[in-house]
Chain A
Amino acid sequence: MNYGFLNIYWRDMIRFVRFRTMLISSLLQPALWLAFFGIAMSSSFDQLMAGVPVPSGVHAVGYLTFMAAGIIAMTTLFTSLFGGMIILFDKNWGLMREIMASPMPRDHVIIGIGLSGMTKSFIQALIIMVFGIAIGAGFFVGYGAFQIALAVFGILLFVGVFSLGFLFLSAGIAISMETPEGMQGIMMLMTMPIFFASNALYPIDAFPEFLRVISMYNPMTLLINGIRYFAIGPDFLALGKYYAYTSTDIILSFAGLLVFAVLMYAFAWWRFKKAVVT
Chain B
Amino acid sequence: MAETSGEQDREIIIVKNLEYTYGDAKAVEGISFSVKKGEIFSFLGPNGAGKSTVINVLITLLALQKGEASVAGFDVTREPQKVRESIGIVFQEITLDRDMTVWEILEFHGKLYSMPHAERRARIEELITLVQLGGKRNIRIKHLSGGMKRRLEIARGLMTRPKVLFLDEPTIGLDPQTRMRMWEYIKNVNKSGTTIFLTTHYMDEADQLSDRISIIDHGKIIITGTNWELKNTLGQDLIYLETSNNSTAIRALTNLPSVKDIKEKTKGILVMVNDDGTKVLPVMMDILRESGITISTVNLKKPSMDDVFIYYTGKEIRDEPVGKSSIISLRPGGN
Q: Report the minimum CB–CB distance from B111 to chain A (whole Å).
A: 4
Which residues of chain A come closer than 8 Å to B91, judged between CB atoms?
Answer: 94, 97-98
Which residues of chain A come closer than 8 Å to B104, judged between CB atoms?
Answer: 11, 14
- Docked complex Cα distance between A6 and B100 (Å): 16
- Docked complex Cα distance between A103 and B85 (Å): 6
B152 at the interface (CB under 8 A from A): no
A246 at the interface (CB under 8 A from B): no
Which residues of chain B come closer than 8 Å to A4, judged between CB atoms?
Answer: 111-112, 114
Among candidates B56, B81, B87, B95, residue contacting A98 with C-beta atoms closer than 8 Å: B95
Q: Which of A8-34 contact B (CB under 8 A)?
A: 10-11, 14-15, 18-19
A101 at the interface (CB under 8 A from B): yes
Contact A101 B62 (CB under 8 A): no
Which residues of chain A come closer than 8 Å to B59, judged between CB atoms?
Answer: 101
A94-B93 contact, Cβ under 8 Å, with A2-B114, A7-B108, A278-B56: yes
Contact A103 B113 (CB under 8 A): yes
- Docked complex Cα distance between A38 and B61 (Å): 49
Contact A101 B99 (CB under 8 A): no
Contact B112 A97 (CB under 8 A): no
Q: Report the minimum CB–CB distance from B231 to chain A (whole Å).
A: 34
Contact B112 A104 (CB under 8 A): yes
Contact A7 B112 (CB under 8 A): yes
Among candidates A7, A99, A103, A277, residue contacting B81 with C-beta atoms closer than 8 Å: A103
Contact B95 A93 (CB under 8 A): yes
Contact A99 B112 (CB under 8 A): yes
A95 at the interface (CB under 8 A from B): yes
Q: Report the minimum CB–CB distance from B78 to chain A (whole Å).
A: 15
Q: How many residues of A contact B (CB 8 A)?
A: 25
Which residues of chain A come closer than 8 Å to B87, judged between CB atoms?
Answer: 101
Contact A101 B93 (CB under 8 A): no
Q: Report the minimum CB–CB distance from B152 to chain A (whole Å).
A: 12
Which residues of chain A come closer than 8 Å to B108, judged between CB atoms?
Answer: 7, 10-11
Q: Report the minimum CB–CB distance from A222 to chain B (whole Å).
A: 36
Which residues of chain A come closer than 8 Å to B56, judged between CB atoms?
Answer: 278
B89 at the interface (CB under 8 A from A): yes
Contact with A along B274-304 (1 / 0, CB 8 A): 0000000000000000000000000000000
Q: Which of A85-114 contact B (CB under 8 A)?
A: 93-95, 97-104
Which residues of chain A come closer than 8 Å to B218, judged between CB atoms?
Answer: none
- Docked complex Cα distance between A6 and B112 (Å): 10
Contact B94 A11 (CB under 8 A): no
A49 at the interface (CB under 8 A from B): no
B258 at the interface (CB under 8 A from A): no
A123 at the interface (CB under 8 A from B): no
Which residues of chain A come closer than 8 Å to B63, judged between CB atoms?
Answer: 276
B84 at the interface (CB under 8 A from A): yes
Which residues of chain B come closer than 8 Å to A100, judged between CB atoms?
Answer: 61
Q: Report the minimum CB–CB distance from A132 to chain B (whole Å).
A: 32
Among candidates A3, A101, A277, A278, residue contacting B84 with C-beta atoms closer than 8 Å: A101
Which residues of chain B come closer than 8 Å to A19, judged between CB atoms?
Answer: 99
Contact B113 A102 (CB under 8 A): yes
Q: Which of B45-104 contact A (CB under 8 A)?
A: 52, 56, 59-63, 81, 84-85, 87, 89, 91, 93-97, 99-100, 104
- Docked complex Cα distance between A15 and B140 (Å): 12
- Docked complex Cα distance between A7 and B156 (Å): 16
Contact B61 A101 (CB under 8 A): yes
Instruction: Please name 4 further chain A to chain B contacts, defined as beta carbons within 8 Å, in addition to the given A94-B95, A98-B95, A104-B113, sorted by A numbering.
Output: A94-B93, A98-B156, A100-B61, A101-B87
Closest 6 CB pairs of A and B: A7-B111, A94-B95, A102-B112, A103-B84, A103-B85, A278-B56
22 contacts between A and B (CB under 8 A): A6-B111, A7-B111, A10-B108, A10-B111, A11-B108, A14-B104, A15-B97, A18-B99, A94-B94, A94-B95, A95-B96, A97-B61, A97-B95, A98-B89, A98-B95, A100-B61, A101-B87, A102-B84, A103-B113, A276-B61, A276-B63, A278-B56
